[in-house]
Homo-oligomer: A and B are copies of this chain.
């Protein structure tokens, strides 16, 4: 967001809305009582202010924003609990085979073939969190209650108040984990951060959960590792070429596939509305913003 002088005919700040056409923007009416909204999807003519919403920042030119002094806030404050809920749900699903067992029951196999194969306990599992930000921290909080053992990798080691073991790189984290929870932002540095060396280090019973962005994982390699039985399972909310999903995954019971829906709850939209309204008011009143992206 960048502050400029207001149109002299109008005291209400102008806000330029940038959104994907699929984002329905349910709280537009409420925002329009506080701001003059310019939404190019309504009328394609204006360039004043910028209002988008996302957890990820991979669609923004961060260095250009830094050079121009543009502040960026993201939606992780509003979204992180919902994303963490789904991440934990995907993990339980992969370990206990919930979706696969549901297919087994629906297709009538329970009565025909007897018991469904064993699942795995959460307690005692070594969970490696890739990116201990808002989302990763919420994931850690939940999984501690299941008796999991948490460690993490992150750009920097967190302060001593964070009680989890730190690994300086994802390879060492994978070597010491049963599960990788991929919760970080997609940047040039994190593109394909889960590569074949990391998957080999995780091992054939290892599980990968991805609620970040598809391109954090080398998806082609991941499919091969799964097909060859060289990793134990995956729970994926994101894919490299959404909405296309590699067809090989459709045949696998140890893959749980979610259509990028980690943040799609009404409670999340309410929290997002509050956050956007708060930040716009704060911006135009020269007050501190919430969920400000820190440039490296």
Contact = CB atoms under 8 A, between A and B. Distances in A.
Number of chain copies forming the complex: 2
A144 B146 CA distance: 11
B90 A261 contact: no
Interface string A244-261: 110000100000111101
Chain A, interface residues (CB within 8 Å), range: 35 or more
Nearest to A124: B267
A12 to B, nearest CB: 31
A89 to B, nearest CB: 3
Contacts of A147: 81
Contacts of A146: 81, 85, 88, 142
Nearest to A119: B265
A242 B264 CA distance: 35
A119 B101 CA distance: 21
Contacts of A264: 115-116, 118-119
A141 B144 CA distance: 10
A121 to B, nearest CB: 4
**For A22, A102, A259, which residue has the most chain B Cβ atoms within 10 angstroms?**
A102
